Amino acid sequence: MHASLPLVFLPLVLLRILILLQIRTWFDKLCDYHLAKVSNGPTEALNNLVKRIKRIGFGLRNFENYRIRALLYVGSRTGVSSKSPELIMR
């Protein structure tokens, strides 16, 4: 009965080993983040916004209509008035 006791803890040991390997692999990048305090969050937010705009424009055949729709959508998120002529005019 005592011989099977370590088998119970085997998943925990393997999990700890995997965590330590991940930390060793990503150590430089983790240190860089904590030193520079910079992340790719703004880039991911912009990517998410572009994907939402693409979903909104699905089905529009005219690029100009798609462009206007995208500018109105972004303008509503940034506080710019959606009725502003600068958004519609090139």
Instruction: Let me know whether 26 and 51 are in one domain.
Output: no
Token reading at 59:
């089905």
- The structure's pTM equals 0.42
Q: Return d(Cα 42, Cα 33) in angstroms, integer.
A: 15
Instruction: Let me know whether 55 and 75 are in one domain.
Output: yes
Segments forming the whole domain that contains residue 15: 2-36
Instruction: Let me know whether 46 and 76 are in one domain.
Output: yes
Token reading at 48:
């998410």
Token reading at 23:
């930390």
Instruction: Let me know whether 84 and 50 are in one domain.
Output: yes
The pLDDT assigned to 35 comes to 92
Token reading at 60:
């529009």
Pure H helices in 3-89: 5-36, 41-56, 63-78, 85-88
Q: Summarize pLDDT for 43-89 with one digit per residue, the tens.
A: 898 888 888 877 877 777 888 887 887 777 777 555 444 454 444 44
Q: Structurally, how many domains does the chain consist of?
A: 2
Instruction: Let me know whether 29 and 56 are in one domain.
Output: no
Q: Tell me, what amino acid is at 69?
A: R
